[in-house]
């Protein structure tokens, strides 16, 4: 099974967005989700698990991900619940095509959000 591509929902400065449903992930290495390149925007994830498991945001590869040596970021669930993760920067997590890749150990529902990091209010 290939990764499922997620279209992120953009947070609106000084506004609001409807709560999107999320996308079910595949299970295991290379079967999770991918968030396409978002330019200069930060990516945040809402991860919902039905039970114990992990969601792993994969470190990118050099030269595009210069900080990839810091490794993956793992979100651990002791049981059912919701966790927010991020923001994730491309310098550590950007894949060769610029996307963000997430693998899960159990089926989870993941929603991606973007935040324009240049916005200062």
- Is 19 contained in some domain? no
Secondary structure element (H or E) that encloses residue 92, with its range: helix 90-93
- What residue numbers bound the domain in which 74 lies? 4-12+25-116
The residues that bridge with 40 in the sheet, in sequence order, are none
Q: How many domains does the chain have?
A: 1
Model pTM? 0.87
Q: Choose between 118 and 104: higher pLDDT.
A: 104
Check whether 8 has a pLDDT greater than 70. yes
Q: Which of 89, 88, 91 is nearest to 44 (CA)?
A: 88
DSSP type of residue 70: G
Check whether 1 has a pLDDT greater than 70. no
- Is 121 contained in some domain? no
Report CA torsion sign: 112, 11, 37, 91: negative
Check whether 120 has a pLDDT greater than 70. no
């Amino acid at each position: 099974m290939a990764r499922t591509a997620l279209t992120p929902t953009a947070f609106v400065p000084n506004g609001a967005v409807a709560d999107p449903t999320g996308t079910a992930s595949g299970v295991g290495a290379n079967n999770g989700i991918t968030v396409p390149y978002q330019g200069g925007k930060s990516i945040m994830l809402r991860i919902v698990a039905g039970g114990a498991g992990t969601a792993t945001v994969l470190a990118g590869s050099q030269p595009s991900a210069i900080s990839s040596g810091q490794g993956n970021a793992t979100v651990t669930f002791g049981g059912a619940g919701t966790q927010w993760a991020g923001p994730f920067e491309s310098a550590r997590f950007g894949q060769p095509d610029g996307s963000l890749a997430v693998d899960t150990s159990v089926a989870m529902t993941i929603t991606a959000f973007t935040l324009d990091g240049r916005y200062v209010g």
